[in-house]
Amino acid sequence: MNEGPFVNPGRLNPQRVEPSQADRRSDEELVRMGRSVLLREGRAVLDVADDLGSDFAQAVRWIYACQGRVLIAGLGKSGIVARKIAATMTSTGTPALFVHPVEALHGDLGIASGDDLLLAISRSGENPEILGVQASLMAHGLRSIALTCEAESELARRANLVLATPIEGEACPLHLSPTTSTTTALAVGDALAMTLLELRDFRAEDFAIFHPSGVLGRALRTTVADLMHHGEELPLVREDRSLRDALLSIAEKRLGCTCVIDSSGELVGFLTDGDLKRALLDEDRPLDLPVTSYMSSRPRCVSPDTLARDALHLMESDPSRPITQLVVVEGTRPVGLIHLHDILRQGLGQA
């Protein structure tokens, strides 16, 4: 029976290491390996930052003035970087589109218009597919910006503008896998996107429009009004009532607190179950005392249109005395109550 050619998996995966070999390495040695990569890449990014100059400023101006889209092309690992830069730009107010060089050369160049601009990414600057895309688009009148480690490469020589990110070598011990080169390219892409964000006065509410889903989107759209307890759920007690009445209100609404109002419905105080416990410890007959004797006369309040994440920050703003509830007011009238758990249940504490 012919089972096919013998395949040595070790030859297909020369980097595979048996667990016993990894176990023989100390924690310190493994950490040293990882730290070496981070330090080499970090230093390379700092070197690029130090060398940033007028070419970067001109690239920002060209992209800012672009009436079409920024077409970002890259192949292999550079293609992954190109996708990320395109996604970051698009989500922060700069329309961008990743262009796969191979597919572009087989018909996808039809998406380009004369108002677009090309950002071509290549470590060596000698990739034939990238050069082909660059030549075709420049022939149609598009400006070309090259993002490459090699300032004297063919890609750089043909481009209208060059963003050079020279590196001393990859962080890969074999000096083969793109590591430092992709990190510096990605960092420059982020620098472009964030500079453009500032120039466009792009704000959190704009960000929310482009991120309607996920934790970030919810955090930028969810207000206190969306989560607060209101109407019949809102615990209220009049200021001329006793702590016994306040206890009934707290127990009935099960929010651990109650708002104290005057005869016209204006907020005059706030009482928590913690305040009640303090009264029980301090007094012989605490439940007959007026509610005003243990209430807080200066409760923390928010308006209904406050972002839920900002309400959470307010609750946590005093580390020595964090609070778990906020009164929601319109003017001086309580219209709702929001609890810490209402926000955390939405996952907004991770935003």
Residues 102 and 196 in one domain: yes
**Same-domain pairing of 191 and 277:** no
**Structural domain contains residue 212:** no
What mean pLDDT do residues 102-123 have?
Answer: 86
Does 171 share its domain with 294? no
Q: Is the pLDDT of residue 271 over 60?
A: yes
Same domain, 268 and 345: yes
Q: How many CA atoms lie within 13 A of 274 on its CB side?
A: 7
List helix spans (H) across the chain.
Answer: 9-12, 19-23, 27-51, 54-65, 77-91, 101-104, 128-139, 154-158, 180-199, 204-210, 214-221, 224-227, 243-253, 273-282, 308-315, 340-344
Of 172, 202, 232, the domain-final residue: 202
Q: Indicate whether 118 and 170 sit together in one domain.
A: yes
| 17 lies in some domain | no
pLDDT at 77 over 60: yes
Q: Using the Cα atoms of residue 198, residue 65, residue 73 and residue 172 in order, give the sign of their dihedral.
A: negative
What pLDDT shows up at residue 6? 46
Closest CA to 259 of 200, 155, 337: 337
In a shared domain, residues 93 and 183? yes
- Residue 21 domain flag: no
Residues 180, 237 within the same domain: no
Roughly how many angstroms between the first and final C-alpha of the chain, as a whole number? 59
Distance in angstroms (rounded) separating the CA atoms of residues 267 and 338: 15
Cα–Cα distances (Å) from 147 to 87, 201, 204, 328, in that order, read 17, 26, 29, 51
Instruction: Domain count for the chain, please give it.
Output: 2
Give the Cα-Cα-Cα angle 159, 163, 165 (nearest 5 degrees). 130
| CA dist 234 → 176, 228, 261, 327 (Å) | 64, 9, 12, 10
- Helix count (H) and strand count (E) of the chain? 16, 11
Paired sense of beta strands 257-261 and 267-272, if any: antiparallel
The domain containing residue 86 runs over which residues? 28-202
| Of the listed ranges 68-77, 100-109, 275-284, 287-296, the one predicted with least confidence | 100-109
Mean of pLDDT values over 287-315: 91
Q: What pTM value is reported for the model?
A: 0.64
Domain boundary among 202, 233, 252: 202
Higher pLDDT, 351 or 112: 112
Residues 47 and 167 both lie in one domain: yes
Do residues 232 and 144 share a domain?
no
Residue 209 domain-assigned (yes or no): no
- Those residues whose C-beta lies under 8 Å from the C-beta of residue 119, and which sit 6 or more positions away, are 63, 70, 71, 72, 73, 82, 85, 145, 147
Q: Looking at the predicted structure, is the pLDDT value of residue 1 above 50? A: no
Q: End of a domain among 202, 236, 266?
A: 202
State mean pLDDT over 267-271. 95
Kindly state whether residue 3 falls inside one of the protein's structural domains. no
Mean pLDDT of the chain: 88
Q: Is the pLDDT of residue 103 over 70?
A: yes
- 213 domain residue, yes or no: no
Would you say residue 94 lies in a domain? Answer: yes
- 177-190 CB burial, b ≥16 within 10 A, e <16: ebbbbbbbbbbbbe
**Tens-place pLDDT, residues 152-188:** 999 999 999 999 999 999 999 888 899 999 999 999 9
Cβ density class 85-112: b for 16+ within 10 Å, e for less: bbebbbbbbbebbbbbbeebeeeebeeb
Kindly list the strands in the beta sheet with 325-330, ordered across the sheet, starting from the edge strand earlier in the chain. Answer: 301-302, 325-330, 333-339
Residue with tokens 């209430």: 295
Same domain? 138 vs 240: no
The predicted structure's pLDDT at residue 148:
97
- Report the CATH number at residue 269: 3.10.580.10
Q: Residue 2 above 60 pLDDT? A: no
- As a whole number of angstroms, the distance between CA 311 and CA 301 comes to 9
CATH of the domain at 49: 3.40.50.10490
Looking at the fold, whether 166 and 255 belong to one and the same domain comes out as no
Q: Are residues 90 and 34 in the same domain?
A: yes
H or E element that contains 329: strand 325-330
pLDDT tens digits for 192-246?
A: 999 999 988 877 666 665 555 555 666 677 889 999 999 999 999 999 999 999 9
The length of the chain, given as a count of residues = 351
DSSP, collapsed to helix, strand or coil, labels residue 318 as: coil
